[in-house]
A = this chain, B = another copy of it.
Amino acid sequence: MRIVALDKESKQSILNDLLKRSPNNYSQYESTVNQIIDRVRAEGDKALFDYTLQFDKFTLTAENIRVTKEEIAEAYTQMDENLIDVIRQSAENIRAFHQKQLRNSWFDAKPDGTILGMKITAIERAGVYVPGGKAAYPSSVLMNVIPAKVAGVDEIIMTTPPGKDGKVNPGTLVAADIAGVDTIYKVGGAQAIAAMAFGTESVPKVDKITGPGNIFVALAKKAVYGYVSIDSIAGPSEILVLADETATPRYVAADLLSQAEHDELASAILITTSKELAEKVSEEVDGFVKVLERAPIIQKSLDNYGYILLAESMEDAIDAANAIASEHLEIITKNPFDTMTRIRNAGAIFLGEYASEPLGDYFAGPNHILPTNGTARFFSPVNVDDFIKKTSIISYSRQALEKVHNQIETFAKSEGLTAHANSIKVRFED
């Protein structure tokens, strides 16, 4: 793995390279996606059936579009029992962590009769997209569905593309069942997103769409934003390890590779102040690449977006980490909690030698759907807040309004909004 000195130039060039992976750079597919959306909006189920035949080679109908109870029961028999137990335990941990995110409605009351507050309510229906084929990850199903369930969403639906035989990945079905999905529809691609955004005869309109997908799914989500709410649009996975001389090279190397194996656009970066660590990690990486199954993908992603950056000081290293705003950030330093206080931008921070990144992907409880591509500067991990909305509450007594009515009228009139002023004035015109 290449070792590069961390300086202004290398930092900027890496930042530019990483941004090239943005899902925003695929506008050439927008017209195709818009066509699919328009057709689903106009024709409903018929468009879904046509597209499913075209893209998934399966004859979808109003009768077979929903996954049946029997299919879910069958999926359980196709899965290893030990794995089902693991999924259940993971779901339990995810539930426990997300339950701590629940918030109360609140209000503030003053003795003059004023009540101001915010009412928290869950959205009514959420839709989760799950990719088909090799990209069907049961862990992602848990991470999308459980926060909605914990938030108190009334109904959670899922869409996922069927195989040619009309079947859905058993792992997806078991995870959906454990997480508490109400209905699963066998539709994929941009057409599934359109169906959830606008509703069809079979698929009900939802309030929010979450879940990963290919570029067509990502562009479709962006296109329907505003008609419904969406989660942030995920780019390729990333890991950044911030380490000093106290880190174990073998662990750091293994963790870098755990993200590099995702796909060829994935990024794995080590920033360290220790030249020795840099060299040893590079060696360990070479050793692992020889034996790991997904070596071809790993090698390409390391060639494209893998770096070991040697920093002159921990301060420079932290500055670079904040600029990169990595999806996953491991801190393996003498005092990781102290280092953490200076981190401003990251999706998830893993502290110390035993908080290996896959612990967060699979088991600890915090969400693994995290902001990528520098968007941790302003986006958050999927969390319970994504499935609730707030409503302001305002109540004034006559006495409270009377004290301030002149001020409100003055402000409204100054903006030329005289009917606004009038609505306050009429209450005190006697």
Contacts and interface: CB of A to CB of B under 8 A. Distances in A.
Interface string A89-132: 11000000100110000101000001110110101100000000
A411 B225 contact: no
Interface stretch (A61-69, A179-187, A381-389): A381-389
Contact of A350 (B123, B348, B371, B395): B395
Interface of A is mostly: mixed
Contact of A254 (B208, B378, B417, B426): B426
A199 interface: no
A395 B352 contact: yes
Interface stretch (A5-13, A158-166, A273-281, A292-300): A292-300
A364 interface: yes
Contacts of A365: 116
Contacts of A114: 364
B118 A394 contact: no
A246 to B, nearest CB: 14
Interface stretch (A46-54, A256-264, A311-319): A256-264
How many interface residues does chain A have, given as a range?
A: 35 or more
Contacts of A272: none
A236 interface: no
B423 A257 contact: yes
Nearest to A405: B359
Contact of A348 (B227, B233, B362, B392): B392
Contacts of A82: 410
Contact of A358 (B395, B398, B408): B408
A349 B391 contact: yes
Nearest to A97: B116
7 contacts: A82-B410, A139-B415, A228-B378, A349-B393, A358-B417, A364-B396, A377-B389
